[in-house]
Structure 1
């Protein structure tokens, strides 16, 4: 049975955190995906022209206006993190990840801020509290953008950079740094693989969850987890592990479709 989040909408009303006029309200994040724990926050998005007057904090974004108002509310059961986005900001964000932009500009994804990427990755699993039609329309629009390919390209770019770092550091005798670079390369190539299957995300803490949520035959969970947790790492011979991980990264990267 689906979780009922309607009490959170009432909580916003009771604490004057819901504007008098809005287009949609939805919840998203780890709790909605079934990944949360007792300490997890509930992430709420409100689409409106203007946040309530009492909201004074903000996240900076590369849009106009260049800020997203944010607020927090602690109820008896949960801590609510609330973001207030304008509909026009969402339009601009979708334009940023359009196929036209993907083919005509930098595709590294670094020009997308953390709040922007987080909204894009959460729209797909969000649960509406109000304005279900708005959310479904934006969900379909997001799926038709280049966000999947952009996130794959971004992760592959970082994979290449960290592989080059690991090799160069080994050659210069900086083995400890090479180990760290190899770990970063592996995390990014797995992110690229998962993004290619439509499961992209920014936080490494959910990588294993994202891995289990997709079906692919490039690498098994057991083999992934062995490298992620460095099960075969030998402190006396770190270079062997680095070279093995670099080889694995290259093998996976060749099978990822942008």
Structure 2
């Protein structure tokens, strides 16, 4: 990690100076994202979340290199500080609490449709799990301790399971019709989705597929189970060869189904507890 990035993370007063337009009494500010999660690298941005009563109106400043992106739920402000990008994401307390309440009240003890959390809300909640407060630490801890972060993993398993059967049928259809090219790529997609679900069931809830390897590696370090990552790499590194694709697809389906059963077993415990 670049030294100037480390310096910003260790001395966040420079970051706080970019927030002179907010009332510190009614907000919390925390660092989040890949750097806080342990996945970041020397080129990673610094993600800063600002939760306040109202999203502030920020004027352009010729002395600051910045851009803005407004959505229905939040405001994203990108600032370049000495070559480092700071991504400030502003949420109102109303929308922030709405996301938390949606997560906390999820009901998994049903065979009916699970209430949806928007992608933005899911990303917000996952990042919050690794958040490091820099303004109003006590208020942050008070909020943090009332969040059921285990529900994030169970939610991802439930959602992925809804598309599991359809994707499996597409893969089997391509295979049986001898469309081996489609079967080859569908098998890779299928395994990625099942891996995502299994890792989420075990607490690795990052929704970004680019971190799949890092999630699997951390799972291995936590559990001592080396077979998951090694089998995943073995299956995903196979080349496209018509004389071997038959066995590769069958083996991928078999392994993915075994992982899915494990994920469903973990979800079942939640449903019956």
Coarse TM-score class (shorter-chain normalised):
0.7 to 0.9
Q: Does 1:249 align with 2:256?
A: yes
Distance of 1:17 and 1:186 partners within structure 2: 47
Equivalences for residues 1-258 of structure 1 within 5 A? 5=9, 7-13=11-17, 15=18, 18-21=21-24, 22-54=26-58, 57-59=69-71, 66-103=72-109, 106-107=113-114, 111-143=116-148, 146-214=151-219, 215-216=222-223, 217=225, 219-228=227-236, 230-231=237-238, 234-256=241-263, 257-258=266-267
Distance of 2:153 and 2:124 partners within structure 1: 14
SS in 2 for 1:137: helix
Change (3 A) 1:250 1:7: same
SS in 2 for 1:243: helix
Check the 8 A contact 1:151/1:200 in 2, yes or no: yes
Distance of 2:239 and 2:175 partners within structure 1: 18
Mind listing any 5+ residue stretches in structure 2 that lack a counterpart? 1-5, 60-67, 268-273
Q: Which structure dedicates a bigger proportion of its chain to helix? A: 2
Greater mean alpha carbon deviation, residues 157-166 or residues 97-106: 97-106
Q: Based on CA coordinates, which of the two structures has the bigger radius of gyration? A: 2
Q: Provide the aligned length of Structure 1 versus Structure 2.
A: 247
Distance of 2:85 and 2:150 partners within structure 1: 32
Mind listing any 5+ residue stretches in structure 1 that lack a counterpart? 60-65
The TM-score normalised by the length of structure 2 is: 0.80
Q: RMSD between aligned alpha carbons?
A: 2.6
How far off its partner does 1:87 sit? 1.5
